[in-house]
């Protein structure tokens, strides 16, 4: 056991002695090119992030404008309906066939995806607002 410990210590000394005098031989040009590459990479990443945020804000503003436009149309339609309440309207009925189970399930999934989209939009809006605070 003693011989093994001595052999291990001797091997360690030889290993450490062989690693000495390794100087960094990088030239200034190599250091400059490495720094430039890192800077360019970071700049590209920041530009991509900024572009993403700008696109998110533009989408949010467009969605907001579309919602405002549709709300204005609804309020105009309600005002038109209210103003013509004294006139005689004929009610037309259309027969609709009952929905099949498949159509009902498809409607549920459609509504679910719309709810998920609305939830994601709210989360994106919150992220963008947090970034600009």
Asked whether the beta carbons of 59 and 125 are under 8 A apart, the reply is no
The model's pLDDT over 79-130, given as tens digits with 9 standing for 90+, comes to 676 666 555 555 555 556 667 766 766 666 666 666 777 777 778 778 777 7
Higher-pLDDT residue of 37, 93: 37
- Give the pTM: 0.36
| C-alpha span between 64 and 84 (Å, rounded) | 30
Q: Which of 15, 72, 45, 113 is nearest to 53 (CA)?
A: 45
């Amino acid at each position: 056991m003693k011989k093994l410990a001595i052999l291990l210590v001797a091997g360690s000394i030889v290993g450490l002695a062989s690693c000495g005098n390794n100087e960094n031989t990088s030239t200034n040009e190599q250091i400059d090119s490495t720094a430039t590459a890192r800077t360019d990479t970071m700049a590209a990443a920041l530009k991509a992030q900024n572009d993403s945020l700008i696109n998110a804000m533009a989408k949010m503003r467009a969605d907001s404008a579309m919602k405002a436009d549709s709300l204005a149309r609804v309020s105009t339609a309600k005002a038109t309906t209210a103003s013509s309440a004294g006139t005689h309207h004929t009610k037309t009925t259309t027969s609709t066939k009952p929905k099949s189970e498949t159509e009902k399930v498809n409607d549920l999934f459609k509504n679910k995806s719309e709810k998920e989209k609305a939830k994601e939009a709210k989360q994106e809006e919150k992220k963008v607002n947090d970034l600009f605070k």
